[in-house]
């Protein structure tokens, strides 16, 4: 069941999100392979699949690492639909689930409560940090820094797509396990046999 859902999600990513052409990545690198993840994460069917597959991965990874998880979130905007999809899947599967969802702003809000972390997060929470894509890992590390500064503890990191350009290693150097749902290799395996050139990370 789980592998079938994962295959459906991979097919959807390949159909909607994997692009070939000339692109400049968030890291500034050039590449002819780009994953426009939000076309899938903001697709209702994609969100359902990400939720189911992601929640199974959270449970499996938490059990393997012996980590309890209170909340899930990451840096806006890429992480937001991924975190919420997983939170909804947890609630649908087990209405007694206490998993909460939050988002990390790129900068603290200048009005109201002036928070950097919005939503359901409290100091001391053990959290899963999520992201849609990692290249160099910069946005995930920004989220980790903000969460730790606010008193959160990082259980582990889950990412929808790891571009395999050093981001996973950069995050793991900080002492956090990174578990991708897919890697770049997974997405090009059955994608017309092309092996896109990667820009330097």
Return the structure tokens found at 179.
């578990």
pTM value is: 0.89
Please check whether residue 198 lies inside any domain of the structure.
no
Residue 132, domain member (yes or no): yes
Instruction: Report pLDDT for 188.
Output: 85
Distances (CA, A) of 41 to 9, 109, 111, 160: 10, 25, 29, 9
Residue 194 lies inside a defined structural domain of this protein: no
Q: Is 9 part of any domain? A: yes
Domain-embedded: residue 193: no
Parent domain of 177: 2-188
- Alpha-carbon distance of 164 to 184, in angstroms, equals 6
| CATH code, domain carrying 22 | 3.40.50.2020
Provide the residue-wise pLDDT of the chain in tens; the chain has 201 residues: 567 999 999 999 999 999 988 888 777 778 878 899 999 999 999 999 999 999 999 999 999 999 999 999 999 999 999 999 999 999 999 999 999 999 999 988 776 667 899 999 999 999 999 999 999 999 999 999 999 999 999 999 999 999 999 999 999 999 999 999 999 999 986 544 444 443 333
Residue 199 domain-assigned (yes or no): no
Cα separation of 132 and 110, whole Å? Answer: 27
Number of domains in the chain: 1
Strand, coil or helix: 75: strand
Residue 128 lies in a domain: yes
pLDDT tens sequence across 86-119: 999 999 999 999 999 999 999 887 766 678 999 9
Dihedral sign (CA 69, 74, 80, 82): negative
17 lies in some domain: yes
């Amino acid at each position: 069941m789980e592998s079938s859902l994962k295959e459906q999600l991979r097919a959807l990513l390949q159909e909607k999100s994997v692009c070939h052409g000339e692109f400049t990545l968030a890291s500034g690198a050039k590449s002819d392979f780009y994953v426009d993840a939000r076309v899938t994460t903001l697709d209702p069917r994609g969100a359902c699949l990400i939720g189911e597959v992601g929640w199974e991965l959270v449970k499996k990874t938490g059990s393997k690492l012996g980590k309890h998880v209170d909340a899930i979130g990451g840096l806006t905007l890429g992480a937001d639909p991924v975190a919420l999809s997983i939170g909804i899947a947890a609630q649908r599967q087990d209405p007694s689930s206490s998993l909460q969802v939050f988002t990390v702003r790129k900068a603290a809000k200048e009005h109201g409560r002036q928070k950097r972390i919005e939503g359901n997060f409290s100091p001391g929470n053990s959290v899963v940090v999520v992201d849609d894509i990692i290249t160099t890992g910069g946005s995930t590390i920004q989220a980790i820094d903000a969460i730790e500064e606010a008193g959160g503890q990082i259980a582990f990191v889950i990412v929808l797509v790891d571009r395999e350009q050093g981001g996973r290693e950069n995050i793991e150097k900080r002492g956090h396990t990174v578990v991708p749902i897919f890697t770049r290799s997974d997405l090009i395996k059955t994608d017309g046999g092309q092996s896109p050139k990667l820009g330097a990370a």
